[in-house]
Amino acid sequence: MTVDCFSTHSASPDEAETRPRHSAPSAGVAWEDGGAQRFDHDLMDAEPAAHRTSSTAPAEPGRAGYVLLAGLPNAGKSTLLNALVGEHLSIVTPRAQTTWQRVAGIRTEAGAQMVFLDTPGIVTNPRLFHRSMLAEAEGARGEADAAVGVVDGTSPGSPEQRQMLLDFLGRCRCPAALAVNKADHRRFDPGPGGELARTLGVPAFGISARKASGLGPLLAFLRSNLPEGPFLYPEDDIATASTRYFVRELVRETVFENFRQEIPYSVAVRVEEFREGEDPVYIAVSLYVERKSQKGMLIGKGGAGIRAVGARARPKIEHLLGRRVYLDLWVKVWQGWTRSKEGLSAFGYRVPDDIA
């Protein structure tokens, strides 16, 4: 396997803050060519969950549970998760099907803890890749204590899509509500969403996930419908996944920002090394494409394409970690990974039950 390596690192180490929450050092980019790749350890998910500060699990009585966020692609599910948790946890792009795994974000308030599960959009595409994502959404539905169907108030979707959403939400065995999203948009029309809610026999709430407005009544509904019980996670936690997971997602999000057409959907990202003990933190990330021709496109002329990904992803990762980062990006080919169950499972995608 041929491998290309590209590194980006902080240009001015001395300027780094201990916790650059909103201002990361400016991007300086170095490009290195070639080099051998090591796969000697895979620490995937070996680190503790992302959290604001460390704490011990609380014993506060109250309500707690998992809340499913489900809907058609582009409805605003990931934007809503981020608004509910108050952090950028889930990838948001104007393009469909960028969330591929459930992303859990935690909101803890006095007496209630909600673990929101952002899921891939509901689609009926026979390709294994899309079926994998639908299986992920269905799996999350099975675990939910409450569900929010997110609908795009500016675009009702086709009759087939609406039926699919109805079927999907109709199979929830828990209290549910609809969030009719994008109320800030001039083309917002709550009509079709309201009709869907009536058909399902659930309440509808008009919201704007982008502006984080209208969330109060939705949250009140969820709070009163969650099971009584102790909190599931420490109060300060905002996510259940490891830092590595978010590093991977930030690189993937950047590929979506920088590339058009099929490239982003063909890229699987894997964190190969994460050396927190070093300053800057050393992170090696592999980007797998499906075909040799895509490798050339991702790398770009003279490495410009992949360097741009590194330059844009690195400040996001530095913001997440609050540390300076040396980011090594490696581009590799895994022929047809989205079409094989070995490829899907190697990158953590769910393999639908009927072909597992």
Ligand X SMILES: Nc1nc2c(ncn2[C@@H]2O[C@H](COP(=O)(O)OP(=O)(O)O)[C@@H](O)[C@H]2O)c(=O)[nH]1
Q: Residues in the site for ligand X, rule: CB under 6 A?
A: 71, 73-79, 92-94, 99, 121, 181-182, 184-185, 208-210
Q: Choose the contact partner of 210 out of ligand X, Mg ion, none; CB within 5 to 8 A by kind.
A: ligand X
The whole-angstrom separation of Cα 64 and Cα 311 is: 40
Q: Please return the burial class of 223, using the count of CB atoms within 10 Å of its CB with bins 0-12, 13-18 and 19+.
A: middle
CB 131 within 8 A of CB 348: no
**Least distance from C-beta 184 to ligand X, angstroms?**
5
Q: How far is the CB of 156 from ligand X (least distance, A)?
A: 15
181 belongs to the binding site for Mg ion (CB under 5 A): no
Q: Does residue 285 contact residue 272 with C-beta atoms inside 8 Å?
A: yes
Residue 84's nearest CA partner among 219, 187, 202, 205 is 219
Distance of alpha carbon 277 from alpha carbon 259, whole angstroms: 33
Beta strands in the chain (DSSP E): 4-10, 27-30, 49-51, 63-71, 103-109, 112-118, 146-152, 176-181, 204-206, 237-242, 268-275, 281-289, 325-333
Q: Which is nearer to ligand X, 93 or 225 (CB)?
A: 93
Query: Site for Mg ion (CB under 5 A): which residue of 8, 10, 78, 243?
Result: 78
Q: Which is nearer to Mg ion, 143 or 236 (CB)?
A: 143
Tokens of 274: 């994460």
From the list Mg ion, ligand X, none, partner contacted by residue 209 (C-beta under 5 to 8 A by kind): ligand X
Instruction: Tell me if 119 contacts Mg ion by CB under 5 A.
Output: no
Nearer to ligand X, 99 or 294 (CB): 99
Return the one option of Mg ion, ligand X, none that residue 185 interacts with (CB less than 5 to 8 A, by type): ligand X
**Residue with Cβ nearer ligand X (134 or 331):** 134
Cβ proximity to Mg ion, 8 vs 82, nearer residue: 82
Single residue of 7, 10, 82, 99 touching Mg ion by CB under 5 A: 99
Where does this chain bind Mg ion (CB under 5 A)?
A: 78, 99
